[in-house]
């Protein structure tokens, strides 16, 4: 298969398996999504979804969030891990949203990445899932699968994102990155991987990863 045919096979297969791609993090608006994505670093979506209802019951907007102390936020989000850094980030970005953006989440990669504890991946998730602006957030699942599928050299997530954006049509990015995440979790996990169930890898995969 040519590279173009492999890409089309991935697109077709994922669309067949995952025609619908619900956002895995529970939220109601761009701010609550931003907080949920920040909390998801080195945590599971399931774990975050257990914590956010507790946090958002106290503060689901930046104005209420800054009324909480960093320690109060930290106590609530502790089960998500990295709570010292995340609590400072949540409180700090809420202050900046009030001071610079009238309490609204900015629709800009640059402005988002200026917020405390918000990196490029978090900004990309918010831009794609909250504002429907084309982005291709690369998490560990996408990085792993793009390498297994021989669609990137696997050196780093920056290169993987560049390759994904180069190979896949822009109008598919927002849905496709979620489809790949769902596929990775179900058919191509880092541990307990059953290659026989992984139709995409069996068809186009980098066989050297099996050695």
Model confidence over 102-124: pLDDT tens digits? 999 999 999 999 999 999 999 99
Least confident of 4-13, 105-114, 121-130, 154-163: 154-163
pLDDT (tens digit per residue) in 170-193: 999 999 999 999 999 999 999 999
With left for phi above 0 and alpha for psi between -120 and 50, is residue 169 left, alpha or beta? beta
Identify which has the larger pLDDT, 211 or 178. 178
| pLDDT higher than 80, residue 211 | no
Which residue is associated with the tokens 């998730």? 125
- The span from the CA of 157 to the CA of 195, in Å, is 23
Count the neighbouring beta carbons within 10 Å of the beta carbon of residue 98: 16
**Domain ranges across the chain:** 3-21+136-210, 30-129
Note the CATH architecture for domain 30-129.
Answer: Orthogonal Bundle (1.10)
| pLDDT higher than 90, residue 80 | yes
Under CATH, what is the fold of the domain 3-21+136-210?
A: Endonuclease Iii, domain 2 (1.10.1670)
- The span from the CA of 35 to the CA of 38, in Å, is 5
**Please, what is the Cα angle at 119 between 113 and 121, to 5 degrees?**
115
CB 164 within 8 Å of CB 178: no
45 Cβ neighbours under 8 A, 6+ residues apart: 24, 25
CB 93 within 8 Å of CB 118: yes
Comparing 3-21+136-210 with 30-129, is the CATH topology the same?
no
Local confidence band at 86 (pLDDT 50, 70, 90 cut-offs):
very high
Residues acting as catalytic residues = 121, 139
């Amino acid at each position: 298969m040519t590279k173009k045919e492999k890409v089309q096979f991935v697109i077709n297969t994922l669309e067949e398996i995952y025609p619908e791609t619900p956002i895995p993090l529970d939220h109601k608006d761009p701010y609550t999504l931003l907080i949920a994505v920040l909390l998801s670093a080195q945590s599971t979506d399931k774990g975050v979804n257990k914590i956010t209802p507790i946090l958002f019951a106290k503060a689901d907007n930046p104005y209420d969030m800054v009324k909480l102390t960093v320690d109060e936020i930290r106590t609530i989000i502790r089960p998500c891990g990295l709570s010292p850094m995340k609590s400072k980030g949540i409180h700090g970005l809420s202050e900046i949203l009030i001071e610079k953006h009238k309490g609204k989440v900015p629709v800009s990669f640059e402005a988002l990445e200026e917020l405390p504890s918000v990196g490029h991946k978090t900004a990309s998730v918010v831009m794609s899932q909250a504002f429907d602006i084309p982005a291709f957030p690369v998490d560990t699942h996408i990085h792993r699968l793009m390498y297994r599928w021989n669609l990137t050299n696997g050196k780093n997530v920056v290169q993987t994102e560049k390759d994904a954006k180069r190979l896949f049509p822009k109008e598919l990015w927002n849905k496709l990155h979620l489809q790949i995440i769902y596929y990775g979790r179900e058919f191509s996990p880092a541990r307990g991987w059953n290659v026989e169930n992984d139709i995409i890898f069996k068809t186009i995969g980098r066989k050297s990863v099996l050695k």
